[in-house]
Amino acid sequence: MSNINNYVFHFGQELTPEQKTVFQKYGVIQFKNFVDKATVQQFLSEIQQVEEYLLASGIQKVNGIPLKFGLNTDGKKFIQRIAFTSQYSKVLSAFLKEERLAQLAALLHPYEGRVGENEKDGLVLNHYVNTPDSEYKQLGWHTDSPRDIFLGSRIMPMLNVGLHLDDYAFAKGGLRVLAGTHNQGLFKLLFRKKYFVDNDPDPKEIGFNIEAGDLTVHDGRLWHRVQRSPFFGEESRRRVMYIPIVTGAYKPKHANSPTPFYHKLALPKLEQYREALRWSNVKRKGLKPAGIQSTPLVSNTINQ
Ligand SMILES: O=C(O)CCC(=O)C(=O)O
Ligand SMILES: [Fe+2]
């Protein structure tokens, strides 16, 4: 295990050639202090207001994407994953329109990228805490790409931009990646590890020393996971907002957007991805998957 302190940068007004080269090679890059501490506090307070509003209104889904609930350190219900968070906050929505974020799309060159405020899951808040009743303490190995398989055969390039809102030194756990795996072929993208069930550290993985306000950018095809904290309760709290930078046709979601079928079936993530893998085989080999009807599951119901 190691960290990538050698590849930590500060963001000016636009990306430098060195930053682009590092990203092309590793599929991940970290920018220190992308926003200052006062802004972190402001964002946390906005998020808290959004969460209170969603809880008070009994909202279960935003634009078809279910919220994830858990019990906080004080035993009270809280939300561990919110999609389209900026829909409820002018401050967060304004942040997504900042030119500096738009500049990151250059990492997708030669594709044209845009900040997907209303696409995929929009601005996602992930809130991890290590308590017995927390639903979200860690996340197994995965890439962010296979959902695209449901849309058609091509995986569209995308970036996941993480704005970190808590200090999280490497030893506390947090994001781990296999640098360079964004350049793998489709087979490795699907089968390098068992999607979401494998939580084992990899000898080649790298992690980060994160301070609140830092930004990480990873390619959607990069293998990554979230290491559970060795600490419990308050010390393990980790809040990070993810912003998708997407390519291809504009596919906004709205209040009446259907829930992707893997959410509807309430299958564990593992099962969702097994389905994805079976379908990818169908496409590759032109075979019918065992036990799955030939009626297409694609496109109509899944739009992310
Ligand atoms: O929390 C993180 O840093 C990563 C989350 C993630 O990989 C995901 O939600 O797909
Ligand atoms: Fe991910």
List the single range of 47-61, 74-88, 139-153 with lowest mean pLDDT. Answer: 139-153
- Both tokens assigned to 290: 């065992």
Cβ(162) to ligand 1 under 6 A?
yes
Q: What's the rounded Cα separation, in Å, for the pair 285 and 246?
A: 28
Concatenate the DSSP letters of all residues of 220-270 into one string.
Answer: TTS-EEEEPPSS-EEEEEEEEEEEEEE-SS-----TTPPPPHHHHTT--HH
Cβ(216) to ligand 1 under 6 A?
no
Instruction: Give 159-191 pLDDT, tens digit per residue.
Output: 999 999 999 999 999 999 999 999 998 889 989
Q: Mean pLDDT across the chain, nearest whole number? A: 85
- Both tokens assigned to 37: 């501490």
CA count, 13 A, side-chain hemisphere, 66 = 11
Q: Please compute the mean of the pLDDT values over residues 132-154 and round it to a whole number.
A: 76
Cβ(226) to ligand 1 under 6 A?
yes
Instruction: Give 93-135 pLDDT, tens digit per residue.
Output: 999 999 999 999 999 999 999 999 999 999 999 999 998 777 6
CB contact burial 96-131 (16+ within 10 A = b; e otherwise): beeebbeebbebbeeeebebbbbbbbbbbbbbbbbb
pLDDT band at 275 (very low <50, low <70, confident <90, very high): low
CA 29 to chain centre: 15
Q: How far is the CA of 104 from the centre of ligand 2 (A)?
A: 18
φ, ψ for residue 96 (rounded to 5)? Answer: -65, -20
The percent of residues above 90 in pLDDT, for the chain, comes to 69
Q: What's the rounded Cα separation, in Å, for the pair 221 and 177?
A: 11
Q: Are strands 233-246 and 159-164 parallel, antiparallel or unpaired?
A: antiparallel
Instruction: Give 9-51 pLDDT, tens digit per residue.
Output: 999 989 999 999 999 999 999 999 999 999 999 999 999 999 9
Q: What's the rounded Cα separation, in Å, for the pair 119 and 257?
A: 11
Instruction: Give 188-234 pLDDT, tens digit per residue.
Output: 998 999 988 899 999 999 999 999 999 999 999 999 999 999 999 99
Q: Which of 68, 137, 161, 242 to mutate to test the pocket of ligand 1 (most atoms within 8 A of CB)?
A: 242
Q: What's the rounded Cα separation, in Å, for the pair 89 and 71?
A: 24
Q: How far is the CA of 91 from the centre of ligand 1 (A)?
A: 22
Q: Please determine, for residue 300, whether its predicted confidence score (pLDDT) is greater than 50.
A: no
Q: How far is the CA of 35 from the centre of ligand 2 (A)?
A: 22
Q: Please determine, for residue 151, whether its predicted confidence score (pLDDT) is greater than 80.
A: no
Angstrom distances, CA of residue 296 to CA of 147, 266, 304? 15, 19, 16
Could you name the CATH architecture of 16-285?
Answer: Sandwich (2.60)
